[in-house]
Amino acid sequence: MTAPRLRFAPSPTGPLHLGGARTAMYNWALARALGGAFVLRIEDTDCERSTDASLQIILEGLRWLGIDWDEGPELGDCGGGAHGPYFQMQRLGLYREAAERLLASGHAYRCYCTPERLAELREEQKANKSPFIGYDGRCRDLTAEQCAAHEAAGRQPNLRFRMPTDRVIQVHDLIRGDVEVNTRQLDDWVMVRIDGVPLYNFACVVDDIAMAITHVVRGEEHFLNGIKQLLVFEALGHEAPRYAHIPLILNAKGAKLSKRDPGVKSVLEYRDLGYPPEAVFNYIALLGWGFAADRDVFTRDEMVAAFKIENVGKAGARFDLEKLHWMCGEYVRRWTVEQCVERSRPWLEGVVPADVLAPGGAHQGWLRNIVACYQERVQILSEFGDKIGWLFADPTELDDGAQKKMQKHGELAPEWLRAFAELLAAGNAPPSWPADRSAADRAVRLPSPSGGQAQGDAPPPATDCPFDTPAAIEAQTRAFCDQRGIKFGHFVHPLRAVLTGTDRGPGLFDVVFLLGKETCIRRANK
Ligand code: GLU
């Protein structure tokens, strides 16, 4: 039995989108599931559009998702395998040789038609509403003398593949099942351009043969290319690999992705926005494939163990941003708070003061408490940075929600807030404070800032809260409201508004606890 060998063959002409990442992932997973090799081949024959920048973006995107290759770029001189080089522009000799064989066997021919003639032909076919749009075969049967005459006139040929005119090709696609295509609808396509550079369908087959590829998983848009390629395999006397053409990714409404759809973002844009890579990996895996009816969250290893290409669906997979966000949240919640702090660090920079952010600094407990308050509330890591600015700078204005809440109790609110400031300033704990940690008491599931103090650290500036726990502050505040005959449910809204500038965020008493006495008094009095 031949060893399974799969490949991902991107053209470095743009970023790695989710669709490309999915193709890479399914090839990778199948290679790993079958115990075979996963090859990364760079199809860079479109010299005008291929760039090193795109290549780097693709490689970085794959690395970020944890899709590693056994052979290909950046794996030492020979690319980690015996089938290199892994860039098509470094393999031109192989294509030349194969093209000569196909010319000799009559499967290829020289075409001297000029670009102008081909453009006219296309216009004509369109104007006549011809059912067939494509090359009309004018040079298909040129004699050696006719070719020589063209060359003598200084014309160089493109090489075209001679397609059978009326043959039914039967293919078994691992996803689409048995399909028949009549070659009538396919024209004689250009294999090698005048400048000697091969085009995709030809170079791809030469490489799939030379690299001993056994399975090809790629997007459905290549299905008809697959028919052309099968004929090249046949012409070169080689068995074709097994094909699996995966359905398109559609938008949430079931339509083709447009340029503005979030589904067409580059993988690295997701990275920069703070989507956890393992969540993005997990989500992409589900675009057309299912792990289990009752489970959507799984690890890379679990995917490999369960992956069968036959189980990829035939219908287009819908890209659902909400589900991707949900998936990210699932991962964020599985981390320890320390992991959350570490992984959100790049997005905390610039929001959290450097001395608070400094690893091993005096404020680590406080920082952990802050992050812990948001762990249940964020889905992507940049949200940590986006949501916590109010902790470090007094709000200069109230957002719409907060303003509404203030207006509702407009006359009484200033009086309540002044009294609350006095309460904090006094800061005496009544003996009835709950000793246990209530459900609302999430902020202190970590060593609290006072714990830091007990170990001899300098007390962080904003953790001078006179109470031990958010629950204790809440109990005190309820008692305070009772005494004054204020409805607790009314009181909390203006308080949150002035403390945070918004009407959303963590539990109000987590807020008070995190801000600390001085800051709360200042903001309440203001
Ligand atoms: N370079 C082609 C692409 O990026 C590869 C298609 C294939 O896998 O054969 O679409």
Domains of the chain, first to last? 5-88+250-323 (3.40.50.620), 91-246 (3.40.50.620), 345-526 (1.10.10.350)
Q: Is the CB of 201 under 6 A from ligand 1?
A: no
Q: Is the CB of 43 under 6 A from ligand 1?
A: yes
Please list the pLDDT of the chain residue by residue as tens digits (526 residues): 689 999 999 999 999 999 999 999 999 999 999 999 999 999 999 999 999 999 999 999 999 999 999 999 999 888 888 999 999 999 999 999 999 999 999 999 999 999 999 999 999 999 999 999 999 999 999 999 999 999 999 999 999 999 999 999 999 999 999 999 999 999 999 999 999 999 999 999 999 999 999 999 999 999 999 999 999 999 999 999 999 999 999 998 888 888 788 778 899 999 999 999 999 999 999 999 999 999 999 999 999 999 999 999 999 999 999 999 999 999 999 999 999 999 999 999 999 999 889 988 778 888 888 898 899 999 999 999 999 999 999 999 999 999 988 888 778 888 899 988 988 887 654 333 333 223 223 333 333 333 333 333 333 334 444 556 778 888 888 998 999 899 998 999 999 999 999 999 999 988 988 888 888 989 999 8
CA distance 201 to 232: 9
CA distance 126 to 207: 35
Question: Which atom in ligand 1 lies closest to the alpha carbon of residue 23?
Answer: 8
Q: Is the CB of 11 under 6 A from ligand 1?
A: yes
Q: Tell me, what's the pLDDT at 117?
A: 97
Q: How far apart are the CA of 208 and the centre of ligand 1, in A?
A: 11
Question: Which atom in ligand 1 lies closest to the alpha carbon of residue 10?
Answer: 4
Q: Is the CB of 9 under 6 A from ligand 1?
A: yes
Question: Which atom in ligand 1 lies closest to the alpha carbon of residue 204?
Answer: 9
23 touches 246 (CB < 8 A): yes
Residue from 525, 437, 443 nearest 475 by CA: 437
Q: Is the CB of 442 under 6 A from ligand 1?
A: no
Alpha helices (H) along 240-309: 267-272, 277-285, 300-306
Residues 319, 322, 323, 324: is their CA dihedral positive or negative?
positive
Question: Which atom in ligand 1 lies closest to the alpha carbon of residue 225?
Answer: 9
Helices then strands, counting H and E runs in the chain, come out as: 22, 11
Q: Is the CB of 10 under 6 A from ligand 1?
A: yes
Q: Tell me, what's the pLDDT at 232?
A: 98
CA distance 373 to 378: 10
83 touches 75 (CB < 8 A): no
Mutate to test the pocket of ligand 1, among 11, 40, 225 (most ligand atoms within 8 A of CB): 11
Nearest alpha carbon, ligand 1 atom 5: 9
Extract the tokens encoding 379: 């889905």
Position 14: which residue type?
G
Q: Is the CB of 16 under 6 A from ligand 1?
A: no
Using alpha carbons, list the distances in angstroms from residue 422 to 230, 347, 466: 82, 36, 12
CA distance 237 to 242: 16
Q: How far apart are the CA of 477 and the centre of ligand 1, in A?
A: 64
CB atoms within 10 A of CB 118: 17
Alpha helices (H) along 5-114: 18-34, 52-65, 92-104
SS3 state at 37: strand
How many residues would you count in the chain? 526
Count how many Cα atoms sit within 13 Å of the Cα of residue 98 in the half-sphere of its side chain.
Answer: 29
472 touches 427 (CB < 8 A): no
Residue carrying the six token digits 């049967």: 141
Question: Which atom in ligand 1 lies closest to the alpha carbon of residue 9?
Answer: 5
The answer for residues whose C-beta is within 8 angstroms of residue 234's C-beta and 6 or more apart is 240
Residue carrying the six token digits 């890479």: 24
Q: How far apart are the CA of 6 and the centre of ligand 1, in A?
A: 13
Q: Tell me, what's the pLDDT at 313?
A: 96
Q: Which DSSP string do the residues of 347-371 spell out, in sequence order?
A: HHBTTB-HHHHSTTSTTHHHHHHHH
CA distance 173 to 170: 10
CA distance 67 to 449: 41
Angle formed at CA 221 by CA 215 and CA 222, multiple of 5 degrees: 40
Q: Is the CB of 27 under 6 A from ligand 1?
A: no
Q: pTM (2 decimals)?
A: 0.89
CB atoms within 10 A of CB 501: 21
Q: Is the CB of 39 under 6 A from ligand 1?
A: no
Question: Which atom in ligand 1 lies closest to the alpha carbon of residue 217?
Answer: 8
Mutate to test the pocket of ligand 1, among 209, 218, 243, 245 (most ligand atoms within 8 A of CB): 218
Nearest alpha carbon, ligand 1 atom 10: 10
Q: Tell me, what's the pLDDT at 467?
A: 59
Q: Tell me, what's the pLDDT at 439?
A: 27
Q: How far apart are the CA of 222 and the centre of ligand 1, in A?
A: 8
Burial class (CB in 10 A: 0-12, 13-18, 19+), 129: exposed
Secondary element (H or E) of residue 182: strand 177-182
Beta-strand runs (E) in 301-431: 317-318
Q: How far apart are the CA of 127 and the centre of ligand 1, in A?
A: 32
Q: Is the CB of 226 under 6 A from ligand 1?
A: no
Active site residue 314: no
Position 344: which residue type?
S
134 touches 126 (CB < 8 A): no
Q: Tell me, what's the pLDDT at 361?
A: 78
491 touches 476 (CB < 8 A): no
CA distance 231 to 238: 10
Mutate to test the pocket of ligand 1, among 43, 44, 215 (most ligand atoms within 8 A of CB): 43
Mutate to test the pocket of ligand 1, among 23, 25, 204 (most ligand atoms within 8 A of CB): 204
Which of 129, 253, 259, 487 is labelled catalytic? 259
Burial class (CB in 10 A: 0-12, 13-18, 19+), 524: buried
- First CA to last CA distance, the chain: 79
Residues 370, 375, 377, 382: is their CA dihedral positive or negative?
positive
